[in-house]
A and B are shown apart, each in its own frame.
Chain A
């Protein structure tokens, strides 16, 4: 569980996060949604410890990040996995090399133990056959799966994904979403996902936080988001014409 209390983050004169409080539960896919520029990435980077908020606190299962020593922070970092918006795979390494990397860096496991673990996660994301290829030689959807494999290879307690399905076709996007949700449940991970994809919201929105101008505007589940009267939320949800049409049909049917 991650508890965020009233965090503020600014860059120079621009206040990006203006006091956000939220709780993210274990084994659940938590979604952060909001328009481009609303501060989703900055928020996620605060959760990752890449940015330190000027005010407020973030606690990981009771461990307040600001109060941890350097070593404790490093240990905590190794409990986190991150899937970056652009996958961020290491170009110079094969698929297998990318997934092996954290194990090589941080564990004292034997070669065969590491190999076993890599095989296991590659199998989990269905990529065993691509193991010897380089990131430039596989599709965007496969790159995302490699990024997920790399993020979970160390058995993280916390998984963060920044727009994990941007730039993918709807079918592949759904596949990635479902994969993340399954993994979250299977390994009881606290997962936080940034997205502006309404499909993801409908697929895996067990808990949704809507950010607007650096503030938490709304919070709820995927069932609640279609019923809310909050103008900002409906404006966002129905900004896609398809959804607007679906809503009209739904309203007409009801009448």
Chain B
């Protein structure tokens, strides 16, 4: 008894010691680490501006950053930029939602049920071998250039990474934990909610990250080829009028939206996977 008590106290003491870390000196180093990544891009943009002003980079090849910013400001004021960004974002997430839910559902079903896996997995794997962007001509024939076309392509594109990773996650949940759940009399539903799903979550997030990349890529291609609104359409129209600054602007905004989606996922991941040692280490 006393041994146990003593060890708890010892542990508590060592934990206290861990928390009182020397501060102050680390502050500057931390600032340096967080800014280090930005040094090179800022230098490059400055160099770009300089070369463009000197006329070494022709403005009809690559306009100066300041010219692009101006074009951005003009598009923002006219409301065109916000509208097109809204349309593209909505398309992207609608497709992600539809494809993601279907992928999640099949992943869970095939991870849990051998029967379901036997009957559907081969078919799903076969469809995977068709590059979804190759379907664009067919999709245009089916849906024209309406919203359904983009939704279909994005949903198809994000389906696989989510399906495969959910399946993998569900199948690799620690069987010892599942057995533990059984010993403690968990119902199948409780077992799924408290053991299987949280266990599969890290893998599902990996799938989501892959899916986000595919989502933007699919949308860019689809909007560039067949659309009457959205960022890709904006870029294509600008190309016809030789507005290089708007074209570059559209590309930069795609990059920004991609980054934003990634940040959002990381945040969500950090929230859902707080328990994970990898994420605990990161937060410290």
A-B complex is real: no
Give the A-binding residues of B (Cβ under 8 A). Answer: none
A residues within 8 Å of B by Cβ?
none
